[in-house]
Structure 1
Amino acid sequence: MQADGNALNKSLSEFKALGSDKIFSKISKAKVDIDYLKDHTDEGNATFNKAAFNGNEFSLVGISNVWSRNATFDFIEEACFHDHLCPGVTSGYLLAKYVEEKLPINNVSTESYKVIACPNWCKDDLLQMRWDATPGKSGMFVMALTDLEKNALTEKYKTGVAGIYIRWNDTAKQGDALVLGYNFSAKSNWTGPSWGSKLASDVELMDYYSEPETFVSTIKEFKVDSNVLAQLQNAGMNPLKVAGVM
């Protein structure tokens, strides 16, 4: 629904008296369940190709599909922060679940997660919301890799390097770190129009919310002190070289 600007200028009593056709300049309805759309691609084509939701089709359809399948509130909130749901955001959820199992926070007053997002992708927006690991609070440091570097690392470790994750104790000034890999090899069974591929993957990945190890693996574990942390965060250093995996 798109609000009509004229309606918003009315007094409260006038506004209450308006019908929905006067409050909204556009009201769009569509069946968007991905299982339904598999058998009714003509309806999906109309929704996506004719911008039924003013260009917000991918965002609304993706989030509504996992919402209707009882995705947790925190996951939906994190996807909304990213503006849409995609397999990249879901990878962040699986990475977070894996880290929380391997390196649980035992004392919230002294411990927190730090992320060396190298390489960066959609996962990092989810991690900012889930762990409050934002760049402004020195909880996340984002660095890119070239395609050549990413391909070489994938060839070496048989999985895509997904960054460095640290459980940091700010009182002891030390922590535990994991270099993690994420395997994007899972393929959707979707065979229809291109608009459905990522949406179908999002739904299929829900089956693995409690099994992050299906896609996430540990490439290296190591201890971190203040000196090593500074090197990992420094703009002049390659954190993967500091960690000894590149």
Structure 2
Amino acid sequence: MSPARTVLVVQHAAWEEPGIIARALDSRGLTWRAVTALDDPNPDLPDVAELDGLVVMGGPMGALDDAAHPGLAAERRLLAEATAAGVPVLGVCLGMQLLAVALGARLHTGRGSEVGMAPVALTGAGLRDPMLYPLTVDATPDPVVLHWHGDAVDAPAGSTVLASSDVTPVQAFRHGSALGLQFHLEVDGPLLARWLAEPVMSGDLSAGAVAQIAADAAARFPSLVPRAHVVFGAFADAILSRRG
């Protein structure tokens, strides 16, 4: 067995933490560390050869906001290199957009606004994907998940679209060892409460909209959160499998 290495978790905002992803990594005994690389044009990111896995989280900025956040360019380079090397990669929301752009896809700024609990439709490939199939175990053809985004991306060339919605045609895609999720499976009740109390997240929402999101999540999370643990457990298992 090769020596243990770190799973790198790149965060862009304190409240956009890995949540259920972190618990899945912990449950498999995987070491991980969180870093923020946004504002340093030459951030101290590890070489791809040192990675067991790579997770890139969401954030309020855009995937090409390099002028305000020069570290994003380094994140995109690392995402492309990790995917090319076969490292298990997971991009969530902004992280998915960074992954897509790193692989040559187009970013659509401000097209695809979705906030709150709403369904996604899994494609045939999504239903067969080893990480996404648990979303349908309750016999719901279009699982209801948490959305919180305004930008959208095309699928990179050579990728497979795994999920879509009427507003956002690419809700999830796979490209080799990399999985991109536009929606937020990592969020549970306590983390959502933190989001709803964070002005950057909820400042543009009415009190009624905040209450509706909280109520919808309370109804859905008892089923969704256990399935999210299975999804991210499969990601952790992919890391262990590659390690050998």
| Structure number with bigger Rg | 1
Structure with the bigger percentage of helix:
1
Indicate the structure whose relative CO is greater, using CA pairs within 8 Å and at least 6 residues apart.
2
Question: What TM-score do you get using the length of structure 2 for normalisation?
Answer: 0.21
Question: What TM-score do you get using the length of structure 1 for normalisation?
Answer: 0.21
